[in-house]
Amino acid sequence: MLRHLNWAWACIVLCGFFVLQSLADDGSGKGLLIHNAFRKKHHAPPLIWNTEMAGRANKMATEMATKGTLDVALVKSITKYGENVARISDPSSTNAANCDNAFEEAVKLWYNQVKGYSFAAPSLDSDTDTFTQVVWKDVSELGMGCSKSPTKNEVYVVSLYNPPGNIPSKLRSNVLDPTGKSSDDLYGSIAKRFQTFHHKKKESHN
């Protein structure tokens, strides 16, 4: 019995190693790691890689690269997942664009929208929705794909999330402040101050 358990654990460790190795080989491992690093800052659990989703994301990225168009509508029309898309290019660079670093660069680009997000007054809009999708707490699975343009020095990155995030009614409970403060706490504090002020004002009139 013990021998069987040891073999089982050995298989789990080896399988995990080969999965991580395959991710690292094409650069997508960096995409998973940086997703989870950003999510940790916002008190969201780490994502698990889904190979089927990654396959779909790769097909979408290839289609975009072939057309030379960053087509968000394409992704939304043929998938049930949440999505982020990016085109990584540097026309002035002498280095050929490739997918090795594009996964990581795309996630940084999406997360950078945090600069325009208000945790005190959360809202969902096109200026912050790639950030909110990256750190959405209820998301558990991730799949990413990348493809190089056949004619230009640019690559296309597609990221799929399951279950999808960016649900307006669940925004406040899924996009958490890195400081640990919640918007509910803030609104509660404001309401409490207003009640105190109103009470003191009534006393001053008596």
Domain ranges within the chain, ordered by starting residue: 26-192
pLDDT for res 98: 86
- Residue 22 CB-half CA count within 13 A: 9
Torsion of CA 29, 35, 40, 45, to 10 degrees: -80
Cα separations (Å) of 134 from 31, 47, 152, 185?
11, 10, 28, 23
Tell me the C-alpha distance between 175 and 137, whole Å.
7
Instruction: Give tens-digit pLDDT for 96-145.
Output: 678 989 999 999 999 999 999 999 999 999 999 999 999 999 999 999 99
- Backbone CA torsion sign across 43, 183, 159, 116: negative
Contact of 64 with 150, CB cutoff 8 Å? no
193 or 34: whose pLDDT is higher?
34
Phi-psi region of 27 (alpha: psi -120 to 50; beta: other; left: phi over 0): left
Instruction: Give tens-digit pLDDT for 135-158.
Output: 999 999 999 999 999 989 999 999
26-192: CATH topology is Pathogenesis-related Protein p14a (3.40.33)
Q: Tokens 């789990």 label which residue?
A: 12
Contact of 178 with 42, CB cutoff 8 Å? yes
Specify the 3-state DSSP secondary structure of 37: helix
Does pTM surpass 0.75?
yes
Maximum pairwise Cα distance, the chain: 83
pLDDT for res 27: 72
